[in-house]
Homo-oligomer: A and B are copies of this chain.
Amino acid sequence: MAGMSKKERQTALLRLLEEQPFITDEALAGKFQVSIQTIRLDRLALGIPEVRERIKAVAEQKQTDLRSLEGTEVIGQLIELNLNEMAISILDIEPAHVFSKTKIVRGHHLFAQANSLAVAVIDADVVLTRTANIRFVRSGRLGERLVCKAVVTSNQTDRAHVEVTTRVGEDIVFFGKFIVVKMALDTMIGGG
């Protein structure tokens, strides 16, 4: 994409951001073979906020659709939610998430992101995980962005199957098959 005029680049940038709204300035600079500073000026000219703000705006909007969880109970930022169909969340790997020795993200944070998304995607008052078969495919590292996608593969009255894949860029980091059960809130309170 080198050798584009500024006008062409900005048009292409807008189109790309529609497809991949959470792409970073670094990745955009790589794609258009320009400096990060050029991308920042392009965004400024086009009135597009930085990626962190774009994610936050979408997350706030999606959280109002949640049924089984409170907004703050989703681990990561919810950026896509079609109840009983699919959901996507983003989690940036921060120092609190990694092993001190290796700077590799701890498994339970990957699990927490995936498990809470498998619950969030279901349209019921109370959803609990019954079983999960999970695989940690490659290690996530400090500073990487975990993009987690949950897809409902089967949905019955009392339970659902959800497949969750977490990626860093194109790489699969985590894959899990979850069976979650649905309950009514009034059977839970005071229940055995």
Contact = CB atoms under 8 A, between A and B. Distances in A.
Top 6 A-B residue pairs of the complex, sorted by shortest distance between their CB atoms: A108-B112, A107-B129, A131-B135, A111-B111, A102-B188, A133-B133
Interface of A: 69-70, 73, 75, 99-102, 104, 106-108, 111-112, 115-116, 125-126, 128-136, 139, 185, 188-189
A174 to B, nearest CB: 10
A135 B131 CA distance: 4
Nearest to A102: B188
Contact of A188 (B104, B116, B132, B185): B104
25 contacts: A70-B100, A73-B99, A73-B100, A101-B126, A102-B126, A102-B185, A102-B188, A102-B189, A106-B112, A106-B116, A107-B115, A107-B128, A108-B108, A108-B111, A108-B112, A108-B116, A111-B115, A128-B139, A130-B135, A130-B136, A131-B133, A132-B132, A132-B133, A133-B134, A134-B134
